[in-house]
Amino acid sequence: MRSFFGRFKIFGWVMLGISAVIIYLFFNALQPKKILPIYNPAMVNSELVDQGIQHVRKYHTIADFALVNQNGDTITQEDYKDKIYIADFFFTTCPTICPIMTKNMASIQDKIGDDVLLLSHSVTPQIDSVAQLKKYAIEKGVDDSKWNLVTGDKKQIYELARKSYLAVKTDGDGGPYDMIHTENFILVDKKKRIRGFYDGTNEEDVQKLLDDLQVLKSNYEE
């Protein structure tokens, strides 16, 4: 009799465990799937967006580009094809927010796999030569296989910043393509769409970027 109740007790615990698993799976299935927003120019602070596209509400993507990285290689959109990547704007002689942004981007570099890339654009290409970018890259611990620091034609970088990444303000005191970069890190998906903006000087925002990156990656895995 005692062995019968012993077997019944074991059976009860097994059924309780199975029930708990079923309830957990059912609860997860009912949770709404997290999807990151797709940003378009009309959703972004107009100070950061070229006037000609401020009305655009859908189908915004990053334009094609051809720039030169710290190794003298030409980098184009093909190097980022079918990749999630994080972009920003900086300059190597910036004494204020750039060192913090670069430090935080370096920490992101150490946390991502080969399926995610980084792309930093110089807003002072007339100063940031290939040699200057290479020196900066070595000093900051840039991994060339994951992270491109790029320079090139100032007009192209300006238009990418204002018309594609929606990430810089105009200056207006030194020419038509002067720009003041922001602290923004921009998360771009495999279809060249912007999925998030983050304060690259703020550790909590950088962590949110990493969390959102995992959400974005999981969307592609399903």
Binding residue ranges for Cu cation: 94, 98, 181
Report the DSSP pairing between strands 74-76 and 66-68. antiparallel
Write out the binding residues: 94, 98, 181
Number of C-alpha atoms within 13 angstroms, CB side, residue 154?
A: 15
Amino acid identity, position 197: F
Give the Cα separation of 40 and 42 in Å (integer).
6
Q: Are 117 and 85 in contact (CB under 8 A)?
A: yes
